[in-house]
Amino acid sequence: MHHDLGSLGSAVNYRATERQMEIMQSMGVNALRTSHNPPSPEMLKVCDRLGILVQVEAFDEWQIGKVINGYNKYFDEWHERDLRDMIRRDRNHPSVIMWSIGNEILEQNQEDGWKLAKHLSDICHDEDPTRPTTAGFNYYPAPFENKLAYQIDVVGLNYWPLNYRMT
């Protein structure tokens, strides 16, 4: 679930967020993943009230960037504070069921990427020992071969058609 509200833009609008969640719930949605950053407190408040489960995601990139001016430029300096602040802010919401430390991060292809995954997962468990950690991987089987997948509690495998042969 991306942070914006379609044509309404990115500014938080409680009623628009509530309506969006109500529509999703009417379609049978009972859980969602924020992508690829923490949700607004208002969204979590709506999810708490409606009983929608939320996987809160912290990062779309770590040290290896996906875009020219991405978070990777600030990751080393800010990741720990940002992750701890996110968890401290959101851990008392009953809708939050797990913490995602990354979405399709490029370190999944690195032999030592597991060290950073362990570091981030340890921060999550330090701040909230009651919830599991996860990450979305899209370069199967690399996260398993490089041991990154073993540093989190719940492995997420994202479907990425370019990695699959179509026959």
Q: Which residues are catalytic?
A: 104
Give whole-number Cα distances, 45 to 15, 52, 147, in Å.
12, 10, 36
* Separation of alpha carbons 69 and 110, rounded Å: 21
User: 113-127 vs 72-90: helix axis angle to the nearest 10?
Assistant: 20
**How far is 77 from 24, CA to CA, in rounded Å?**
37
Which among 100, 96, 73, 84 is positioned nearest to 155, based on CA atoms?
Answer: 100
Instruction: Please state, in angstroms and rounded to a whole number, the distance separating the CA atoms of residues 162 and 167.
Output: 13
Give start and end residues of each alpha helix (H) in the chain.
14-26, 41-50, 72-90, 113-127, 142-145
